[in-house]
A and B are shown apart, each in its own frame.
Chain A
Amino acid sequence: MPKPEGVQEKRIAVEARGITKIFGAGENALRALDNVSVSIRQNEFFTLLGPSGCGKTTLLRLIAGFEYPSEGAILLDGTDIATLPPFKRPVNTVFQSYALFPHLTVAQNIAFGLEMLGKPRAEINARVAQMLKLVQMEELGQRRTDQISGGQAQRVALARALAPSPKVLLLDEPLSALDYKLRKEMQIELKRMQHETGITFIFVTHDQEEALTMSDRIAVMSKGKILQIGGPRDIYERPSDRFVANFIGETNFIDAEIDGATGGAAAVIARLPGGAQIAAGVPDGMVPRGRVAIVVRPEHAVLARPDEGGQLRGTVENVVYSGTDTHFHVRLDGGNPFVVRSQNRRGTEAAFAAGDPVAVRIQDGAAQVLRD
């Protein structure tokens, strides 16, 4: 019988509730995860994004069952699995190091999980063949694992983890060892497989571009905390936190002042240095007042001649051509830097040169207040 609350919202596959993980004790105690809560929906491509050492692997290992939380609960399909050993969790991992069994062939590696589940031989063989086909390695089933390339090993690791049809697949930076071209191919393939299998993917990366292109939702982590969870567009266009804004893409930070406090509003009017006013988005649940920082992405602003008007004024310091775009590095009148990116079109020259006084026009809805 379906639960009443399950009807309207999308079902939750994995939920972490107030997870804290502390390694060591006493003076050496290290808080790898600090009160982390996140709900990952079924058949979602969910990405944990953050710099090295922020706790991404630790969170994956907690979900897989290799570590147990110091505090908090992990729920799988609504039931607490925090004390279940890894071999009883319907969760498989693609390890960062692949961890293929060196004493087994490619096919035997893929068959391992199925054998442990006690599946009949015929079913195992069929499934292994199907998996080899899925990762396009039909010919290499009998190879030893030290006789295949890095990219192939990565596919075998993927096939091995997918073969038992887990409810959730954990991928710990599976593409980091691959060269650029192969990585692009595998990104597309991973998305295809996630689509075809309907399995929930929890994907770890510290590559922001990879996260933005592949994910349904992203959790940005830093120092054991989740700073923001949202779709790629949310994260990129409406970062709620200075760290998130900085970590993902290029950003301009502007100091601003907010006069009236309007609780619960999605946007406020902020006064910029120089006196111009602009509507800025507000992170959920924040009531900004006084001095705040707002962010504007470089491509969400355009340059204009001073007499044409804009919210900010300054002088072009530097023009950098980079193929598809041109970057204008502007020094604002108050002394702060501001970068404007404009896409290059055929036949048009850059309209401004270093030394030109300019006005900066920020597009509607492009400004976002930061939480800090």
Chain B
Amino acid sequence: MATAREVSDRAARRDVRDRWLLSAPALIVIFFAAIGPLFVMLAYSFMAKGDYGDVKFGQFSLDGWFSVFLQRDIFDDTITLADAHLSIFWRSVRLSVITTVLTIALGFPTAYFIATRPRHTREIWVFLVTIPFWTNLLIRTFAMQEVIRNEGILNTLLIRLGIIAQPLQIMYTDAAILFGMVYVYLPLMVLPLYASMEKLDFRLVEAGYDLYAGRLQVLRRVIFPLVKPGVIAGSILVFIPSLGAYVIPRVLGGGKNMMLGNLIEMQFGAGRNWPLGAAISITLMAIVMVALLFYVRNTARSGAGHG
């Protein structure tokens, strides 16, 4: 005789199996399209590099991983830190963090503005925010170059206004990369921020004012904690592509100011060091994972109470 518990357990097991079966096609696609290539990368990073690119199949080697952060002197075999790589890692992380912070600073008021418009005009504003997505990233990056180059719009304007005498050298600096990344990734911050601000109950804002909180305190103590999920989602959406940015540093940063994306590209191209390229790619992924874990832990903690 089956007890009620056994029956319900069996039903639950059948339920789980059905779900797996139904999801199987999607899971197979995901495995081959998304996770499969990662295993290829992982395998390549542990192989010896081929003479003209590619790898030597079956030849195990740690050279690729060794070269991510270290280098061996050609003459006396001493091992030192690979300064060139480290500075690129550092620049990537630094510029991505700054980009994230700047997009929050610009995106927050923008999203707040949109969320406080009358309902029927909000869609128009959201639509306007998404317009940059219509054009290709490369074209947008070249457009930004037009703005910030020495004879560009920004410098011409500042000189005409008499604010500066000599054009500012923005192109081929980290600042140029920042200009580009903030411009390109700002919509990715505004949209999730807007999504969570639209859900914000403005009666809570009134309650804050009623309880003697000034405008800044309402922002800090009521609005910000309530839209934090949007801030976090936006930060993830901006930080991750920033870290792997390739086109923007290539066009605006020039050859000298490389970021991780450029370094990886170089290994697979001119550098002809696929194992190193693969190892750096996986390192980049690891950085992203650590950053995500950090975010998730942070949200879990702030969700339970109030900081």
Contacts and interface: CB of A to CB of B under 8 A. Distances in A.
Interface stretch (A112-120, A272-280, A305-313): A112-120
Contacts of A112: 208, 211, 213, 221
Interface stretch (B86-94, B147-155, B199-207, B286-294): B199-207
B210 interface: yes
A116 B210 contact: no
A101 B213 contact: no
B127 interface: no
B209 interface: yes
Given A99-B201, A104-B306, A160 B206 contact: no
B212 interface: yes
A66 B209 contact: yes
Given A99-B204, A116-B217, A87 B306 contact: no
Given A101-B222, A103-B226, A116-B217, A87 B212 contact: yes
B225 interface: yes
B214 interface: yes
A93 B206 CA distance: 10
A94 to B, nearest CB: 10
Contacts of B226: 102-103
B306 A99 contact: no
Interface string A91-107: 11101010111111100
Contact of A101 (B207, B214, B305): B207
Contact of B209 (A86, A104, A117, A164): A86
Nearest to A116: B212
In this complex, the interface size class of chain B, counting residues with CB under 8 Å from chain A, is 10 to 19
Q: DSSP class of B's interface residues: helix, strand, loop or mixed?
A: helix
A205 interface: no
Contact of A87 (B204, B210, B305): B210
B222 A86 contact: no
Interface residues of A, number: 27
Contacts of A100: 207
A93 to B, nearest CB: 5
Interface in B247-274: none
B225 A95 contact: no
Given A95-B203, A97-B203, A101-B222, A160 B211 contact: yes
A64 B210 contact: yes
Contacts of B212: 87-88, 113, 116-117, 164
Nearest to B204: A99
Contacts of A215: none
A100 B211 CA distance: 11
Contact of B306 (A108, A117, A160): A108
23 contacts: A66-B209, A66-B210, A86-B206, A86-B210, A87-B212, A87-B214, A92-B211, A93-B210, A95-B207, A99-B201, A99-B204, A99-B207, A100-B207, A101-B208, A103-B226, A103-B306, A105-B305, A113-B211, A116-B211, A116-B213, A116-B221, A117-B212, A164-B212
Given A86-B209, A91-B210, A112-B221, 16 more contacts: A92-B210, A93-B210, A95-B206, A99-B201, A99-B206, A100-B207, A101-B207, A101-B208, A103-B225, A104-B306, A105-B305, A108-B306, A116-B212, A116-B217, A160-B211, A164-B211
